[in-house]
Amino acid sequence: MAVGVVLSAASPSTEMIWRPASRIAAVRYTQGTNLNVVDGAFLVDSLTGWIGESAEPFAVLADAAGLHGTDAAYRAKASAFFREHKDEAFIALINLGPVIHIVVEMFRIGTGIQLKTFTDEAAAHAWLRTKGIKA
C-alpha cells in the first residue's frame, strides 16, 4: 500500500481514520455518544478489516471528548476483540471525562489489554512509539 494512504469509516456515533503505514486507527466520537453493541460491531469490523491476518502491532488512538458512556454489550464486544489481539494491540485515549476515565480503567484492568490514558495527543504518540508503533 502506498505511503500516505488513509482509509476511513463512519457511523452515526464514530469516525475512524486508518493509516496503514503507521497502523494507527484514529477515533473520534459524536458529542454525547453512549456506545452500544452496534458501535462495538462497527469498531471490531473496521479494525478486523484493516489489520488483516497480520500479527503486526497496531494502535487505536481515541479522542474521547464526545463520549458519555458505554453499555455492557459494547464493552463485551470490544473486550473480546482486544483480548484476542492483546499482544499486538495498543490503545491510547485522550480527553476523557471523569466517568469515562473510570469506565476505561475498569476495562483495562478487567481485560489486561495494553491501554493508557493521556492528557494530550503528543504524549499518546510518544507512548505508542515506545511500543513499536510508527506514531
Nearest CA among 73, 70, 82 for reference residue 37: 73
Residue 3: pLDDT above 60?
A: no
Q: 3-state secondary structure string, 20-85?
A: CCCCEEEEEECCCEEECHHHHHHHHHHHHHHHCCCCCCEEEEEECCCEEEECHHHHHHHHHHHHHC
Compute the distance between CA of residue 25 and CA of residue 7 in angstroms, rounded to an integer: 9
pTM of structure: 0.92
Instruction: Please state, for a pLDDT cut of 70, what percent of the chain lies above it.
Output: 97
Residue 60 lies in a domain: yes
Q: Is residue 69 part of a domain?
A: yes
Residue 1 forms part of a structural domain: no
Count: domains in the chain:
1
What value does the mean pLDDT of the chain take? Answer: 94
Check residue 38 and give its pLDDT: 97
Within-domain flag for 84: yes
Q: Which domain holds residue 18?
A: 7-130
Whether 135 is covered by a domain: the verdict is no
User: What is residue 54's predicted lDDT score, i.e. its pLDDT?
Assistant: 82
Mean pLDDT along residues 11-18? 96
Query: Is 2 domain-assigned?
Result: no
Confidence of residue 1 (pLDDT cuts 50, 70, 90): very low
Q: What is the pLDDT of residue 55?
A: 87
Residue 37 is part of a domain; what is its CATH number?
3.30.750.24
- pLDDT of 77-93, one tens digit each? 999 999 999 999 999 99
Per-residue model confidence as pLDDT tens digits over 30-80: 999 999 999 999 999 999 999 998 889 999 999 999 899 999 999 999 999
